[in-house]
A and B are shown apart, each in its own frame.
Chain A
C-alpha cells in the first residue's frame, strides 16, 4: 500500500505539470482540445491525491507502523476518531491533506469553468496547478508521507495529547479549507492580470469562493479559539501566538476584500486595490504555513515544526514577486474613471473600513515578525506578546466597530445631513444610554465603556435597517411582521445576511470585552470537604475519582458548585496522563451561562488526592464569543444562499436554457 501512495503522488505531480503546459498552450493557440485535456489531467490529479490520502488513512486506521508517519503520530490504543484526524496531526499528513483540498477545489473550479470564462479559466487553472506542483514537489521529494521504517516498531509514538480533542478534529480542516479555497480567487485574479481581462468578471466568477474562504477562515479561527479555551487550561482563548496571528491575518484581509469588491461591482473603482488584496490574502495563507512549519518564531503550535521553512519562504517570495510584477505590468490598464462625491458616503466608509482592517492585519504582521527583526538589527531576542497586540489593536478594533455601524446606514454617493440625523439619532441615543448604564454599574475602564457603547450603537443601526426593511415590505405587500422579516432576508439575502454577520461580530466583540476586562481568578489548595469562593459561587471539594485504561490515566475531582448558597451543579475537572507520550494534560470543567463561564482547572494533587489545588476563572460574557461565531456562520450561509430573484433575472438575461449554468456564480453587484 505505501508504494501505491508514493506512485499516486508522483503521477499527480506529472499531471499537474502537464496541465499547466496544456492549459497555457491551449489558451494561447486557441486549441480547445488541449484545454479539455488539461482539465482532465487536473481531475486525474485529484483522483491520484485522493488515493494517496485513502492510503495514508488506511495505514493510520490499521496501525501500519512500517509507515514512519503512522508510527510517529498514532498508536494501537489511540481512539479511532483520532487515528482518522492524525492525518493532519503531523507534518507530512497535513501537507498531504492541504494538497488534497487544493486538488479538489481545482477540480471543482475546472468543472465550473468548462464553458465559462474561456479566456481566463485556463490561466487560472494553470496558476492553481502551479500551487499544486509546489505542494506535490514537497510531498514527493522533501517531506514524504509514505517513507518506511526498518525495523518496524511494535507500537507507535501516539498523537500529541493536545491534539486528542474533538475541536482539533474540526479546527485544522476548517482553517485549511479557508486557506486553500482562497487559491481560487487568487488564481482568477492572477489570470485577469495575465490575460488583461481586467473587468470585474474575475470577481463575479469567484465571489462565492471568496465567501467560502472567509466562512472557513472564520470557523477555523473560532474553533481554534475554542480548542485553546478547552485544552490549554489557562482560562483564555487567544494568546496572540504567531500561528494564531497567521490564521487571523488572512481573515482580516479577506474581510477587507469582501467589502471593497462591492465598490468595484458598484462603481468600477479600486481595481488595483482588489487585486492587491486578494494577492495579499493568498500570500498571507502561505505566510501562515511558513510560520507554522519553519519554527522561525516560537509558537504553541510547535507540533508541526520542521525544516520546511526555506521552501515555503522561497515559494512565498516567488508568489509575491510574480504577482507584484503582474500588477505593475498591468497598472496602466487598471486605471478606471473614479467618481467620488462625499466623505459621507458608503464608499468612503468602506474604504476607511478597509484601511482599519488592513491596518490591524499590518499591526499583527508587524508584531509577529518584530522579534526576528530585533534579533537581526540589535542581536537581542525579544518577545511580542498579548500586551502589545491588545494595546495596539484595541483602538483599531473600536474604530472598526464604529465603521461597521456607520457603513450600512449611509447611502452610496452621498448622504444629506438631514438623512444622517434621521438615520443615526436612535442608534446614537442607544449607544450613549449603554455607555451611561455601564458607568452607573461601576464599570470605569474607558475601553470597556466605549466598547459597550459602540456595540449598542451598532446594534441600533442594524435594528434600524431591519425595521426599515420590514416596514417597507409591510406597506408594499401588507405582510405580517414575521413573514415580512423572513421575506426581507430571503429576497435580499446578500444584504441582510451581511447584517447577520455584523451581529455575529458584535456578539463576539461583547464577549471579548467582557472576558478581557472583568475576568476573576482564584487559585486555592483545599482538602476534601473544604470550600472556597469566587464571585457569587462557592466550590466545595467532594473528592477524587481515578481510573485508567491502556491509553491514559485520569484523576477526576468532584466539586459541588453553589451559586448564592444554592447547589447548582457538580463540576469534574481532571488531570490526564497519556502513557505513550508520557505527557500530562488537563481536562477543564466549564459551566457556561449567558452572563459568565465558571472555568475550573485541576492544577495539582497532594496526599493521594485528599488535597487538591484548583485554578478557577469566572469569565463574563465569553459565551457571546462562540455565539457570535455561530451567527457569523449563519449569516454567511444566508449570504451564499442561491437567490431566486437573481436566478430569475439571469434566466431572462441569458435564456432559460443556460440560466443554471450562469446562476451558480454570477451575482450582480446589488445588495450592500
Chain B
C-alpha cells in the first residue's frame, strides 16, 4: 500500500470511529432530570434534587415524583421552577435568579476577567513601549548568570574540592 493510501485508510478509520461513538450517546433528555437539576434538595445534603444521595430522602424522592406528574400534565421547566420558588422561597432554586442583587453573582466573574484582560493589555502596552537592551535581545535563554556571591561561593567550593 502506498503511503498516501495508508494515510487515507487511517483517516477513514478515525472518522468512522468518531462517527460511531456518538451513536452510543444520541442526545435523549430526561426532563425530570432537567427540572430537578434546577432545584436544591432541602434535606441538608446540599445537592440538587436530581443528585441527592439519600436513597430514601423525604424531600427529593417525593419531589421527583411530583415533577414527573407535572411534566405529564404538560407543564414546562420554567412553570415548575416558578411553582416551587413560590412554595419554598428562593433557596429552592439551584442557581441565583437573574434579577436585582443576584445579577452580581452572574456578572462579577466576567467583569473581573474583563478587568484582568484590560490590566494585562495595559501592562503589555507599557512593556512594549519600554526600550529593550540590545544585549538582552540576543541573550540565549537558560540558567541565569551567577551573581558575585554565588561566584565567590563556587570558587571556594572548587578550591575545597581540589
3 nearest A-B pairs in the assembled complex, by CB-CB distance: A620-B25, A385-B94, A363-B109
Asked if residues A340 and B90 are in contact (CB atoms below 8 Å), the reply is no
- Assembly CA distance A649 to B53 (angstroms): 55
Q: Does any Cβ of B come within 8 Å of A241's Cβ?
A: yes
Asked if residues B158 and A443 are in contact (CB atoms below 8 Å), the reply is no
Render A505-536 as a binary contact track against B, CB cut-off 8 A, 1 for contact. Answer: 00000000010011111100000000000011
A536 touches which of B24, B56, B105 (Cβ 8 Å)? B24
Contact residues of B with A, CB < 8 Å?
15, 18-19, 21-28, 30, 33, 37-38, 40, 44-48, 50-56, 89-96, 100-102, 104-106, 108-110, 112-113, 116-117, 120, 123-124, 126-128, 130, 132-133, 136, 141-144, 147, 154, 157-158, 160-161
Asked if residues A669 and B142 are in contact (CB atoms below 8 Å), the reply is yes
Asked if residues B158 and A382 are in contact (CB atoms below 8 Å), the reply is no
Render A603-627 as a binary contact track against B, CB cut-off 8 A, 1 for contact. Answer: 1100000000000001011000000
Contact residues of A with B, CB < 8 Å?
162, 199-200, 231-234, 236, 239, 241-242, 266, 268, 298-300, 302, 337-341, 343, 348, 351-352, 355-356, 358-359, 362-363, 366-367, 370, 374, 377-378, 380-388, 391-392, 396, 412, 433-434, 437-438, 440-445, 514, 517-522, 535-536, 575, 584-586, 595-596, 603-604, 618, 620-621, 649, 653-658, 668-670
- Assembly CA distance A343 to B101 (angstroms): 37
Asked if residues A445 and B27 are in contact (CB atoms below 8 Å), the reply is yes
- Given A366-B108, A575-B55, A595-B24, is A385 in contact with B30 using a C-beta cutoff of 8 Å? no
Give the residue name and chain of the A residue nearest to B110 (CB). Answer: A392
Give the residue name and chain of the B residue nearest to A395 (CB). Answer: B110
Q: For residue A604, which residues in chain B have a CB less than 8 angstroms away from its CB? A: 55-56
Q: For residue A239, which residues in chain B have a CB less than 8 angstroms away from its CB? A: 47-48, 51
A-B pairs under 8 A by CB, number: 212
A615 CB to nearest chain B CB (Å): 10
Give the residue name and chain of the A residue nearest to B29 (CB). Answer: A520
Asked if residues A387 and B51 are in contact (CB atoms below 8 Å), the reply is no
- Assembly CA distance A618 to B29 (angstroms): 11
- Assembly CA distance A424 to B89 (angstroms): 52
Asked if residues A396 and B113 are in contact (CB atoms below 8 Å), the reply is yes
Asked if residues B105 and A603 are in contact (CB atoms below 8 Å), the reply is no
Given contacts A352-B120, A359-B116, A363-B109, 19 further A-B contacts (CB under 8 A): A233-B55, A348-B124, A355-B117, A366-B108, A367-B109, A384-B96, A387-B37, A387-B94, A388-B105, A392-B109, A441-B18, A442-B22, A442-B27, A518-B25, A520-B25, A595-B25, A621-B21, A653-B154, A668-B142
- Assembly CA distance A385 to B51 (angstroms): 11
B127 touches which of A340, A386, A445, A668 (Cβ 8 Å)? A340
Q: For residue B25, which residues in chain A have a CB less than 8 angstroms away from its CB? A: 514, 518-520, 535, 595-596, 618, 620-621
A226 CB to nearest chain B CB (Å): 15
Q: For residue A300, which residues in chain B have a CB less than 8 angstroms away from its CB? A: 45-47, 53
Q: For residue B23, which residues in chain A have a CB less than 8 angstroms away from its CB? A: 441
- Given A233-B55, A340-B124, A343-B124, is A620 in contact with B33 using a C-beta cutoff of 8 Å? no
A257 CB to nearest chain B CB (Å): 16
- Given A239-B47, A517-B27, is A370 in contact with B127 using a C-beta cutoff of 8 Å? no
- Given A338-B130, A381-B91, A392-B106, is A437 in contact with B19 using a C-beta cutoff of 8 Å? yes
Q: For residue B45, which residues in chain A have a CB less than 8 angstroms away from its CB? A: 300
- Given A302-B44, A362-B109, A658-B157, is A381 in contact with B117 using a C-beta cutoff of 8 Å? no
- Assembly CA distance A521 to B15 (angstroms): 28
- Given A387-B38, A518-B27, A655-B157, is A382 in contact with B96 using a C-beta cutoff of 8 Å? yes
A668 touches which of B15, B94, B133, B143 (Cβ 8 Å)? B143
